[in-house]
Amino acid sequence: MTERNYTTVNPCVMCQPMGSVMAFKGIESSMVLMHGSQGCSTYMRLHLSHHFREPVDIASTSLSERGAVYGGSENLKKGLRNVITRYHPKVIGVTTTCLAETIGDDVRRILQEFREEENNADDVHIISVSTPSYEDSHTTGFIKAVDAIVRHFTEYGMGNDIFNNKLNVVLGENIAPEDTRELKRMLKATIGPRSFIFMPDTSETFDAPMTGKVEKIFPGGTPLSEITYMKNCAASIGLGITSDNRAVDHLETKYNVPAKRVPMPIGLEYSDRIMSVLSEIAGSEIPEAYRKERGRLIDAMVDVHKYLYGTRVAIYGDPEMVLGMLSMSLENGMYPVLVAPSCKTPAFREHAQERIDAMNLDCEVKIFEGLDFDAFNDAVKEAEPEILIGNSNGKYISQQIGIPLIRVGFPIHDRVGAQRILLMGYRGAMNILDRITNTILETKDIELEKKWLQNKSNDLQESCCDLRSAHMQPH
């Protein structure tokens, strides 16, 4: 909708506390207490429940006018007490909102007081993260919370300082539970089953099996004892390359744990990168099973190359996912005519360009960072893609323009199975390539049918229709 300077229309991002929640939900026995008004926690619960199709509990300090005027200390302490009483968590993530930040609550001091005042406060790790909603986006909220968790547990003094020869794997962006399972499978096969610490791990917490029992806090998540030992690890891998991974940086500078950053393993090239890094770290060959998987992926790529070559795609969503999908579409000969990560990051453009330059592309690739969907809509109309790839918020554009949408990323509200979309590794690439190709084939089927029907004479068309209705008659 032409030039706008003051309004955001149909946002691509959510606020920082959302990212923080997603990080804490991947930690063993953790609850989030959102310091702000009642609505924030409820809206985020709704949003997350819609996507993961799981109950999601997020407590709120339910700040009212009184709290806003006299400070939220009373509410925060009461909220902590009640969460401890009702949920018995081992960790409480206190994440702030715009309200708490604007009234200027000194959360650290309040938590200090709470620890001094309460007897049972020692049994629970209370970790605060400053996530004002008017700064950055959910992507930074995630990175900040992961960093806060790692700092807390490494500084807490629990555990020991004995070198453990394990590998830290720290996410730089929230990923689906299915992808978490896939990554852990890859790590088990290369590094060994108990040789890595994966954080945060939502594979069980956001995709909990039905047991007939309602759990107050779903089992799963990165074990706290392991987070404590992250400082003693042999190396860290930060998954994601568009933003700084504060947690692995901190582990490197403070505890000399060498850090390596790799892109999310989406598509062949990026999956190769992580596999070679992992086999290097493990000092062993890439396992036979994975060489076969890779071979199968290439086999699949050969199968679909004609359908995909030159297909104009527009990719949007969170930056690491978008970078990965860009890489995958390039290596399959698609034309990523429009690439729109939801927020601006330090290194997206550079890495995207590196991949684009590696190809001999016969189209222009437009990169826009931090657009809203309304501006993205304009860009789509100009770039004329044939397929959209991204979260379900692109459905309006897809419906309006009449092009298919391949749903990946967060949030996906209007289809089932978002928690089980496999995107990463060789198997993920195969899954997504199949989905994209089949979508193209379905569209082509319909187009071809129309085209042939047009070429037929009216008589023929009628008999065609007769034939079809005859087929539809129940026998």
Q: Which of residues 70-89 bind other proteins (CB under 8 A)?
A: 75-76, 78-83, 85-87
**C-beta of 188 vs 395, nearer to other proteins:** 395
Q: Of 380, 379, 404, whose CA–CA distance to 392 is shortest?
A: 404
Q: Which of residues 348-387 bind other proteins (CB under 8 A)?
A: 374
For the CB of residue 369, give the shortest distance to other proteins in the complex, in Å. 15
Query: Does residue 40 bind other proteins (CB under 8 A)?
Result: yes
Q: Of 155, 153, 127, 129, whose CA–CA distance to 142 is shortest?
A: 129
Query: Does residue 212 bind other proteins (CB under 8 A)?
Result: yes
**C-beta of 51 vs 166, nearer to other proteins:** 51
Query: Does residue 408 bind other proteins (CB under 8 A)?
Result: no
In eight-state DSSP terms, residue 314 is: E
For the CB of residue 247, give the shortest distance to other proteins in the complex, in Å. 24
Which of 20, 27, 36, 231 is close enough to bind other proteins by CB under 8 A?
A: 36
**C-beta of 44 vs 111, nearer to other proteins:** 44
Backbone region of residue 212 per phi and psi (left: phi > 0; alpha: psi in -120 to 50; beta: other values): left
Q: How far apart are CA 291 and CA 424, in angstroms?
A: 16
Q: Which stretch binds other proteins (CB under 8 A): 29-37, 163-171, 177-185, 267-275?
A: 29-37
Q: Which of residues 152-211 bind other proteins (CB under 8 A)?
A: 208, 210
Q: Is the Cβ–Cβ distance between 223 and 43 less than 8 Å? A: no
User: How would DSSP label each residue in 402-471?
Assistant: T--EEE-SS---SSS-GGG---SHHHHHHHHHHHHHHHHHHHHHHHHHHHHHHHS-HHHHHHHHHHHHHH
Query: Does residue 128 bind other proteins (CB under 8 A)?
Result: no
What contacts 24+ positions apart, CB below 8 Å, involve 84-87?
84/120, 84/121, 84/124, 86/216, 87/31, 87/57, 87/59, 87/216, 87/217
3-state secondary structure of 58: coil
Query: Does residue 145 bind other proteins (CB under 8 A)?
Result: no
Query: Does residue 67 bind other proteins (CB under 8 A)?
Result: yes
Query: Does residue 97 bind other proteins (CB under 8 A)?
Result: yes
Q: Which stretch binds other proteins (CB under 8 A): 47-55, 162-170, 422-430, 449-457?
A: 47-55
Q: Which stretch binds other proteins (CB under 8 A): 7-15, 191-199, 351-359, 462-470?
A: 7-15
* CB-facing half-sphere around the CA of 220: CA atoms within 13 A: 17
Find where tokens 């070429």 sit: 455
Which of 23, 63, 237, 301 is close enough to bind other proteins by CB under 8 A?
A: 63
Query: Does residue 6 bind other proteins (CB under 8 A)?
Result: yes
Q: Which of residues 437-456 bind other proteins (CB under 8 A)?
A: none
Q: Of 229, 225, 231, whose CA–CA distance to 257 is shortest?
A: 231
**C-beta of 119 vs 454, nearer to other proteins:** 119
Q: Of 287, 289, 285, 291, whose CA–CA distance to 268 is shortest?
A: 291
For the CB of residue 375, give the shortest distance to other proteins in the complex, in Å. 12
For the CB of residue 15, give the shortest distance to other proteins in the complex, in Å. 3
Query: Does residue 103 bind other proteins (CB under 8 A)?
Result: yes
Sequence length of the chain is 475
Q: Which stretch binds other proteins (CB under 8 A): 30-38, 159-167, 170-178, 184-192?
A: 30-38
Query: Does residue 11 bind other proteins (CB under 8 A)?
Result: yes
User: How would DSSP label each residue in 232-285?
Assistant: G-SEEEEE-SSS--HHHHHHHHHH---EEEE----HHHHHHHHHHHHHHHHTSP
Q: Which of residues 267-296 bind other proteins (CB under 8 A)?
A: none
For the CB of residue 100, give the shortest distance to other proteins in the complex, in Å. 9
